[in-house]
Structures are given as C-alpha cells and as structure tokens.
Amino acid sequence: MKKLAGKFFWLLIALLGTSRVHADNESTTLSVEATTNFTWFSSLGFPDVKGCTFGNVPAGQQWRWDNKSPATTHYKVFIISETATNFKTLGLDLIEATLIKTTNATPEHQWVGFDPVNLKNEAEVLLGAYASGAIEKVTTPEMYESLSKQARMFVLAWGCWRNGLNSEAEQLYQLSKTLRYGISEIDEEKFHEYLQRSIGYAMMWRAVVDVGDTRLTRRQLEGRFQSIVTSYPRSGFYEGAKRFVEQLQRMTIEDEAHAKSAPTNLALLPVEERVRELIFQLRDQHGEQYGQPGWCDIFSNLEKNTNTPAHQLVAIGYAAVPQLIAVLEDETLTRSVGYWRDYTFSHVALTVGDCANAIIGRITGKYFYTRTSTSGYMSSDKKAAETRKIAEEWWSEFRKKGEKQMLIDGVSSGVGSAHVQAEMLGKRFPEALVPALIQGARVSTEAWTTRHFISLLATNDSADAKAFMKNALHDGSALCRATAALTLVHKDRAGTIAGMIQEWERYTNSVSPFDFESSLPIAHFLASMDSSEAITALKHNLQLRPALFRAAVVNEVAGGTSNDHFCLINDMRERPPVENPRVEEFLIAALQDEGQHEKISGHCPLDGRFYSNLRVCDKAGHMLKKLWRDRYHFDLCASQNIRNIQIAAIKAAWKQAHPEK
C-alpha cells in the first residue's frame, strides 16, 4: 500500500506541475496585434485545432538514394479527428486532408499514420534554431510552396495560441514577421495585409486548380472563390475571384435552364443543333496536362475517354467549324486547367473559346492562335477577338478554295501548323503532297518543320522527291540546304560536307550585304560534323562579318546550344560531343577578336551570375572553359580587366602546350 500511495503522490505532483506550467502559459499576455490577427484567422473557416494532437505524417513523396531502401518525407500537421480507419489533418500550409491508415505490416515508405509531437517542445526547438542562426531568417521560396514560410510560421503560432501556449505563440508570431525571401521586405506595421496576400495567394491557386476537379459542383467552386472575395479583399486576388464567382453563378443558372430542355439523344438531332448542344457541353470538357512546360490537352484525360464533346465535334468535322469560330470569344469556363509549371501559381482555367480553337485545329490542321510563351493561352493572352477575326477570314477563303487547296497552301507556306496540315494532306490527297512539301521545305524558317518535310521527302519514292533530294544542297533557303545535308551526310559524308563548304564560301565571298542570320544553319552543319576541313572553312572571311555573327559561329563550332549566349538559331538536332582538336585551335584564334555587338548583358547558367559588355573573345574564353574545365579558367561574369588577364593566361597556356603553332 505504501508503494502504491507513493506512486499516486508523485503522479499528483507531476499533474500539478503540468497544470502550473499550462496556467502560467495561459496567463502570458499576448500583444494586441497578435490577438487581433489570431482572432481574424479563426474566423476564416479553417478547422479549429484546439485540443488537437500535433504530429508527423508521411508526405507521400517517395524517393530512393543509390541502392538504399525507399524512403518518404514527412510534414507536420494538426490531427483534427480520427477513426479506426482514417484521420483528418490540417497542415501548416492550410491544406486539409483525409488519410486512410495502413497496417503495421506495411513497408515504412508506404506507411500512412501519424507520430504525435509535443507542440510546446516543437515550438521551443524551432525558436532556438532561429535564435542561434541554425535556421536562416532570409531564405528562398521552396518548390511547390503555396503558402509562404512567414504565413506557415503564423499558422503554427496560431495553433499554439489555440492550445494555451501563449508565450510560444507570441514569440512565433513576432518571428514570423522577421522572415524574408531574399531582398524582399515586409512592412511589419501592415503584417495583416501581408497575411491576406499570402493566404489569398494559396487559396486562389488551389481554387483555380479545383476548377479541373469534376467531382466538385459549380456551386462548390463558387463558394471557394467567394471565400477569397469575402476573407481576403486586400490580397490582390479580389477582382479575379469575383470574376470567377460571377462566371460560376451565371453558368449555374444556365445549367438549370438547359436541364429543362436538354435533348436526350444527340444522334437524332440535325447536325447544326447537335453542334450547338456539344458546344454547350464544352463547359464540362476536362483535359489533362502531362508535361511542363506544356499545355492542357483537352483531348487527353485520365479516364481515356474518347467520346467527350470535343471528340464528338472533331468527328462531325468541317460542318462544326462555323459555330466553333463563333464561340472563340466565349469566356465560359471549362473543366480544363493548364499551367506553366505545377509548382508555382501559373494555372489557367481554359474557356470554351480555348477549347473551340483546339477543336478547329484538330478538324482543319490550322491553329489560329499560336502561343508566344510556354504559359500562353488564347484567353489569358487576350487574343480571342484577334483569333476570331483571322479564323473568319480563313473560313471565307476556305469556302472559295475548298479543303484540298487550303491544305496545299498551308503546307506550301512552311509556317505555323504546316506539319500538321502535311499529315492531313498526305492522308486525304496524297497526290498533292510532294509538290507542297518541296515548296514548304524551300521557304520554311522553322527548323522542326523543315526537318519534318525533308524527312518525308527523303523517304518518298516519287520522281519529284528524288530530284529534290538530289539537288537539295543547293536548293531553297540556307536552313533547307543545311537540313537536307543532315539527312544526306549519312549516305555521302565527304560529298555532302564539300557541298556545304561550297555554300558557306558562296555566302562569305558575297560582296553585297546579306542577312547573316540566314547562313547560320550552314555554320551549324559544318561545326557539327567533326571535320577539320569544315572548321577551317568557317574561318574564311569571318572577320569581315558582324560581331554578333562571329560570336554565333564561335558558339556553333564549340557545340553550343540554344541556351548559350549569342545563339541565333535553335538546334536543328542533337549535337555530338566536340572532340576535333581544330575546335580548340579555332577558339584560341577567336580570343584575338575584341568585336562587340552593342551592350550585351545577361545571366550565365554555367556560373550562376550576371555578365555584361561581352565581346567575341569573351564568348571564346567561356566556351574553352566549358569544354576543357580542367585546362582553362575563365570568368564570364568578371570585369573586363580581369577577363583580359584571363584571356592572356589562356593564350600563354596554349602557346606553351603547342610551341609549334
């Protein structure tokens, strides 16, 4: 009995001590500012975490390092509720989730559950790490970060406050105001506005993504955007969210009215009425994006459904085009969402107009809107009216000429979606394909299109195709000749290289001015052939050409890509490794060239810093370092004086290694 009484005594002491600590913490006075912001946050509709367990849960991001067992990352959450089979969480990033538990026999990297963490200890450790400098206050945004680090720290402070840890809550709140991203500044006196912007950003991002979730009704989506309008009016997303609300409200009313008269069997409708009904149904068109950068393909979905409204409109064909053109400016939302990168808020909810443009392209092979960036869509770029005008003019011409001639014209132009039209022309009017391909290859300024056309001609057995390929090294634009050379060189290497050297000399010997950029494909070909004769030929009369052209040739000889400085063309295909010793000699000679094209500045991917006032010799020094890092040192981003010293050192090293030169 005495032992039992003793145990109860110490248990009572422990409980009293815990209660005293908790009471002391509750008695800590919070600043008015912290209390105000905590109270405001509590009104936003997120789950209350009072009395909730704090813990670690798996993030679901599995990874493997070398040959070790698979592992997973974890993140900290509040456990809102729990049953025998699942549990609900609220993360510090304000993501709510319901997770299904796994059994104890589940491999560790696949296990789903949670490990409780002492919230007070977690806060103290975090505060200590920041105080000691173990965690820096100035950082950079994380990948896939929807809610900023400052806001997440605030959420943790709020969670402490809801659980009676006032001291930790106040300290974390004050700490959250001091965190920075790079040189960005936060006005601590307007911290509430900052919280609105940060949380509003996360909620807007998630709401736009949710547009593509077909499990959610339009009224549910409306509620998510309305909460942004109501709760974050100073976030910068007020007007955008308001437009979504108005759109979704209008669409809901239209849905209800349409349901009363919607046809039950589309197949029985006349074509015109069927097209009209399918266009209405585009508001539910769901597409997926699988690459980044890329685009949302409305014809691709996880269910592999090929009977969507978009697919059915394509099947109808040209009869659907007039009505599709008429709705190019229709801003009605669909269930398709595209993005530049999924790890940042670049998401765009496609419109019925965007879908109509894609469908017209599938039917005709002609795309009237061409994106100018990897994040562009017709609707978001405000090009709908312009696109509709172009499409209407094209359709008027189509009605006069007919499908065959329009396809011939499209392929012969060599621009835009000419390669798509070439595929259609070959299937529907094969007799007209070769002449159109020849003309398109001759005039095309797009490397991919030219390569595609010439590959089709090279495998065609017609007399016209064979005649073209026979004279291809001297027929058409420089891009056409160089692209043909890349195909022919596998059959006759010496003859093809000799023919392209002849073309290069024809350009460089010209006494009349010429568009120097147009001959770069020939330089690309000669530089990529690992041929001493070709590299020697590239030197001929090079000094008489503009500095930008000379630097571009240096880039080509050194195997530079479209990401390198001074590159004026996209690679026509993969470049082989540069191994020819003449390349190094060519670059060493280029170190004498101090020519400069205006004031060229930018960012160097190799060094991760910025450069300015580059000369041809700087380009040569940079490429020497890139190709032979263990032999040469050159800092593209250094001052001109330092670059001159480094160039002199490279020359000296070269001369010492090659005294015979």
Q: What is the DSSP string of 187-206?
A: -GGGHHHHHHHHHHHHHHHH
Do 237 and 351 belong to one domain?
A: yes
Do 213 and 182 belong to one domain?
A: no
Strand 180-181 to strand 138-139: parallel, antiparallel, or no bridges (unpaired)? parallel
Do 53 and 136 belong to one domain?
A: yes
pLDDT of residue 65: 42
Tell me if 481 is assigned to some domain. Answer: no
Tell me if 72 is assigned to some domain. Answer: yes
Banded pLDDT at 372 (limits 50, 70, 90): confident
Do 545 and 616 belong to one domain?
A: yes
Tell me if 325 is assigned to some domain. Answer: yes
Do 346 and 384 belong to one domain?
A: yes
Global pTM?
0.80
Chain CA centroid to CA 35, Å: 40
Residues 426 and 459 sit within 8 Å (Cβ to Cβ): no
pLDDT of residue 418: 95
Is residue 5 exposed (0-12), middle (13-18) or buried (19+ Cβ within 10 Å)? exposed
Tell me if 597 is assigned to some domain. Answer: yes
Banded pLDDT at 571 (limits 50, 70, 90): low
pLDDT digits (tens, 9 = 90+) for 64-101: 444 455 556 778 999 999 999 999 999 999 999 999 98
Banded pLDDT at 599 (limits 50, 70, 90): low
Do 217 and 182 belong to one domain?
A: no
User: pLDDT at residue 9 above 60?
Assistant: no
Domain endpoint, select from 157, 186, 215: 186
Q: CA 369, CA 379: separation in Å to the nearest integer?
A: 10
Tell me if 201 is assigned to some domain. Answer: no
User: pLDDT at residue 293 above 80?
Assistant: yes
Do 211 and 176 belong to one domain?
A: no
Do 131 and 226 belong to one domain?
A: no
Domain endpoint, select from 379, 402, 425: 402
CA–CA distances in Å: residue 73 to residues 210, 341, 342, 403: 25, 22, 19, 56
Banded pLDDT at 612 (limits 50, 70, 90): confident
Q: Which residue range is the domain that position 300 belongs to? A: 207-402
pLDDT of residue 559: 80
Do 391 and 530 belong to one domain?
A: no
Tell me if 441 is assigned to some domain. Answer: no
Tell me if 459 is assigned to some domain. Answer: no
Domain endpoint, select from 359, 382, 402: 402
Q: CA 321, CA 313: separation in Å to the nearest integer?
A: 9
Q: What is the mean pLDDT of the chain?
A: 87
Do 157 and 282 belong to one domain?
A: no
Banded pLDDT at 604 (limits 50, 70, 90): low
CA–CA distances in Å: residue 190 to residues 187, 200, 256, 591, 605: 5, 15, 44, 55, 37
User: pLDDT at residue 629 above 50?
Assistant: yes
Residues 463 and 430 sit within 8 Å (Cβ to Cβ): no
Do 621 and 651 belong to one domain?
A: yes
Banded pLDDT at 462 (limits 50, 70, 90): very high
pLDDT digits (tens, 9 = 90+) for 134-164: 999 988 888 889 999 999 999 999 999 999 9
Banded pLDDT at 516 (limits 50, 70, 90): low
Q: CA 155, CA 171: separation in Å to the nearest integer?
A: 13
Q: CA 201, CA 150: separation in Å to the nearest integer?
A: 13
Lowest mean pLDDT among 11-15, 22-26, 258-262, 590-594: 11-15
Selected residue with higher pLDDT from 228 and 661 = 228
User: pLDDT at residue 577 above 70?
Assistant: no
Domain count, the chain: 3
Tell me if 296 is assigned to some domain. Answer: yes
User: pLDDT at residue 439 above 80?
Assistant: yes
Do 275 and 176 belong to one domain?
A: no
